[in-house]
Amino acid sequence: MKQTKTLIEGALTVAIFAVILIMTMFIPVLSIVSMWFLPLPMIFFAAKNGLKPSFLVLVVAIVIALIISGPLAMAFAAYFLLPGLVMGFILHMKKSAFAILLGGSLTNMAMLLILYGVTVGFFHLDPINMVKETINQSMATAEKLSKVMGQEPKAEMAQIQAQLKMLPYFIPYLIVLTGVIQALVVELVSTPILRRLRVGFPTWPPFREWHFPRSLIWYYLAVLIIMLLGNIQPESWLFPVVINIYYLLETVMVVQGLSFIFFFAHAKKMSKAFPIIAVVLTVFVPYLMYIVRILGIIDLGFDMRERIKKK
């Protein structure tokens, strides 16, 4: 009886995934939204049935995707189904929301690395070079328009060119950031639906309670000192390692700073709109990000939250 129920649920999982995949592949307008629901059927099935049945369902779903639209659809299906299986299995093991996010993030990173390797190795297409070429073409067009209007933005163009040369060094950072964001969006989209389907999804702690380990501040300071005093050249193997760790830690400090703003607003009984506006402004006004980062460093280094609690 239980095996029959699992088979029926597995068949439904594959069917629902196939429908979402067709919508994503063939209806461009809907694909922006529907793509985030692709892992959901697998998360649901893995959360209820565990690893072995879920792996069989994953294989069947990938084969169905191959039949629907060839190798591209198969790769697309694997890219979204594998993180879904991992997140669903961690949910099946009754772990925390952060553990589910971590599992999904690491799987996304692995899939991105595989995708990048296949794209460069087999198809001889480098996504980074494609982005650089697109930006270069846009810059050339903008430069021509500027000359027609009597302007010579040489300094700005030189600055953009210098930033483009640095782009390949940031591939690890971009992979990590993309993997985490993808897992976070999938988890936020899936949580209310899974709860309606009576899957016990763990609750997130309030954002104001998010707090990274204090040891990260020492790693951040160490990397900062190496960057300032180490005189590391871009040709050195150490340069991409240091620069990627630095930007990852800077991102962590920004999140810490935003969490502190939410904590401060809650402690002072301020309007809920204040921290939300702060997040929006931080995203769209780059200069504010520096201030938020400093807040995160101060909070992590001097434990400002405990001081506020005591007061």
- For 159, the token pair is 């600055």
**What letter does residue 230 receive in the DSSP assignment?**
S
- List all residues 6 or more positions away from 43 whose beta carbon is below 8 Å from its beta carbon: 84, 85, 87, 88, 91, 186, 190, 194
- For 56, the token pair is 């069989």
Question: Regarding the domain delimited by 2-125+174-196, which CATH topology (the fold level of the hierarchy) does it fall under?
Answer: Arp2/3 complex 21 kDa subunit ARPC3 (1.10.1760)
pLDDT value at position 253? 92
- Residue ranges matching CATH 1.10.1760 in the chain: 2-125+174-196
Mean pLDDT computed over 222-228: 85
Supply the mean pLDDT for the chain.
Answer: 83
Cβ 221 vs Cβ 300: under 8 Å: no
The whole-angstrom separation of Cα 96 and Cα 145 is 54
Crossing angle between the packed helical segments 51-92 and 171-196, to the nearest 10 degrees? 90
pLDDT value at position 83? 92
Q: Is the pLDDT of residue 298 over 70?
A: yes
pLDDT value at position 139? 64
- List all residues 6 or more positions away from 178 whose beta carbon is below 8 Å from its beta carbon: 108, 112
Cβ 6 vs Cβ 49: under 8 Å: yes
Give 35-81 pLDDT, tens digit per residue.
Answer: 899 999 999 999 988 888 889 999 999 999 888 878 888 888 889 99
pLDDT value at position 40? 92
pLDDT value at position 107? 93
Cβ 87 vs Cβ 186: under 8 Å: yes
